[in-house]
Amino acid sequence: MATCAVYTTPSLHSCSITSPAKTSLGFHQRQVIFFTSRRITKRGGRSTSEVTCSAEAKTVVIGLAADSGCGKSTFMRRLTSVFGGAAEPPKGGNPDSNTLISDTTTVICLDDYHSLDRTGRKEKGVTALDPRANNFDLMYEQVKALKDGVAVDKPIYNHVTGLLDPPELIRPPKILVIEGLHPMFDPRVRELLDFSIYLDISDEVKFAWKIQRDMAERGHSLESIKASIEARKPDFDAYIDPQKQHADAVVEVLPTQLIPDDNEGKVLRVRLIMKEGLKHFSPVYLFDEGSTISWIPCGRKLTCSYPGIKFAYAPDTYYSNEVSVLEMDGQFDRLDELIYVESHLSNLSTKFYGEVTQQMLKHSDFPGSNNGTGLFQTIVGLKIRDLYEQIVAERAAAVAEAAKV
Ligand X SMILES: Nc1ncnc2c1ncn2[C@@H]1O[C@H](COP(=O)(O)OP(=O)(O)OP(=O)(O)O)[C@@H](O)[C@H]1O
Ligand Y SMILES: O=C(CO)[C@H](O)[C@H](O)COP(=O)(O)O
Interface with ligand X (CB under 6 A): 66, 68-74, 209, 212-213, 367-368, 373
User: Of ligand X, ligand Y, none, which one does residue 118 interact with (CB within 5 to 8 Å by kind)?
Assistant: ligand Y
| Contacted entry of ligand Y, ligand X, none for residue 60, CB cut-off 5 to 8 Å set by kind | none
String of contacts with ligand Y for each residue 103-142, x by CB under 6 A: --------x------x---------x--------------
CB closer to ligand X, 63 vs 368? 368
- The listed partner (ligand X, ligand Y, none) that binds 373, CB under 5 to 8 Å by sort, is ligand X
Instruction: Look at residue 274 and give the partner it binds from ligand Y, ligand X, none, a contact being a CB closer than 5 to 8 Å depending on partner kind.
Output: none
Which residue lies nearer to ligand X by CB, 71 or 381? 71
Query: Least CB distance from residue 131 to ligand Y, whole Å?
Result: 13
Looking at beta carbons, which residue is closest to ligand X?
368
Count of residues in contact with ligand Y, rule CB under 6 A: 7
Question: SS3 for 321-388, per residue?
Answer: EEEEEEEEEECCCCHHHHHHHHCCEECCCCCCCCHHHHHHHHCCCCCCCCCHHHHHHHHHHHHHHHHH
Q: How far is the CB of 69 from ligand X (least distance, A)?
A: 4
Phi, psi of 222, rounded to the nearest 5 degrees: -60, -40
User: Shortest gap between Cβ of 54 and ligand X (angstroms)?
Assistant: 32
Please enumerate in sequence order all residues whose Cβ is within 8 A of that of 311, keeping only pairs 6 or more positions apart, or say none.
Answer: 286, 293, 294, 295, 296, 297, 326, 327, 328, 329, 341
Give the residue with the Cβ less far from ligand X, 313 or 366.
366
What is the C-alpha to C-alpha distance for residues 172 and 106, in angstroms, rounded to an integer?
A: 8
Torsions phi, psi for 372 (to 5 deg): -65, -20
Task: Check: CB of residue 259 under 8 Å from CB of residue 307.
Answer: yes
CB of 270 to ligand X, least distance (A): 8
| From 108, 181, 249, 302, residue interacting with ligand Y (rule: CB under 6 A) | 181
Provide the H-helix boundaries in 172-253: 187-192, 203-210, 216, 222-235
User: At closest approach, how far in Å is the CB of 325 from ligand X?
Assistant: 19
Element at 198 (helix H, strand E) = strand 195-201
Nearest distance, CB of residue 110 and ligand X, angstroms = 10
From the number of C-beta atoms within 10 Å of its C-beta (0-12, 13-18, 19+), residue 210 rates as buried
DSSP code for 89: P
Question: Are 286 and 293 in contact, with CB atoms under 8 Å apart?
Answer: yes
What does 120 interact with, of ligand X, ligand Y, none (CB < 5 to 8 A by kind)?
Answer: none
Residues 77/366, Cβ–Cβ less than 8 Å = yes
73 binds, among ligand X, ligand Y, none (CB under 5 to 8 A by kind): ligand X
Pick the closer one to ligand Y by CB: 40 or 231. 231
> CA torsion sign, 368 to 185 to 386 to 291?
positive
- For residues 61-73, b (16+ Cβ closer than 10 Å) or e, as one string? bbbbbbbbbbbbb
- Tell me which residues in 58-87 interact with ligand Y (CB under 6 A): 68
- Find the shortest distance in angstroms from Cβ 208 to ligand X: 8
Rule CB under 6 A: choose which of 159, 226, 279, 362 binds ligand Y.
Answer: 159
b/e string for 334-354 if b means 16 or more Cβ within 10 A? ebebbbebbeebebbbbeeee
Cα-to-chain-centroid distance, residue 5: 34
Closer residue to ligand X (CB): 171 or 232: 232
Residue 162 within binding range of ligand Y, rule CB under 6 A: yes
Q: What single letter denotes the amino acid at residue 380?
A: V
Q: Which does 74 bind (CB under 5 to 8 A by kind): ligand X, ligand Y, none?
A: ligand X
Of 90 and 162, the one with the shorter C-beta distance to ligand Y is: 162
SS3 content of the chain, % helix, strand, coil (to 5): 35, 30, 35
Run of H or E residues at 143:
helix 136-147
Contact of residue 144 among ligand Y, ligand X, none (CB under 5-8 Å per partner type): none
Q: How far is the CB of 369 from ligand X (least distance, A)?
A: 8
**Measured from the CB atom, is 236 or 285 closer to ligand Y?**
236
CB of 162 to ligand Y, least distance (A): 5
Binding site for ligand Y (CB under 6 A): 68, 111, 118, 128, 159, 162, 181
